[in-house]
Amino acid sequence: MILCKQCKFWGLPSKTGNNWSKGLKNHRSCGSDKFIYESAFFNLADVERSIPLDAVGYRDGEGYQADLWTGAEFGCIHGKAKGEKWK
């Protein structure tokens, strides 16, 4: 396990027009494919089919957009150290 601040997936969002995020110092978004945004889960069977057992699924109530932020000291088993090659 590594901390987010040491991980290559941790960074500011690449969305344009999201100016408020530029001031963040200790919170960023995770680009790992283990964080899965699903815009609309209609029932529990959809969750079971869509989210692997080693992942985090998140959504918003209206199906438009949701942001997920982690702190610098948060960590996970799926992190990759900066400089480590992508799969």
Let me know: does 10 contact 82? Beta carbons within 8 Å: no
Let me know: does 40 contact 64? Beta carbons within 8 Å: no
Residue type, 45: A
Mean pLDDT over each residue of the chain, to the nearest integer: 78
Segment 59-66 long-range contacts (CB within 8 Å, at least 24 positions apart): 63/39, 64/39, 66/37
d(CA 37, CA 54) in angstroms, rounded, equals 14
pLDDT-derived band at 62, boundaries 50, 70, 90:
confident
The helix (H) or strand (E) run that includes residue 68 is: none
25-51 tens-digit pLDDT: 777 888 888 888 876 656 677 777 778
Q: Tell me, what DSSP letter sits at residue 65?
A: -
Tell me the percentage of the chain whose pLDDT exceeds 90: 21
Picking from 46, 53, 14, 49, the residue whose alpha carbon sits closest to that of residue 30 is 14
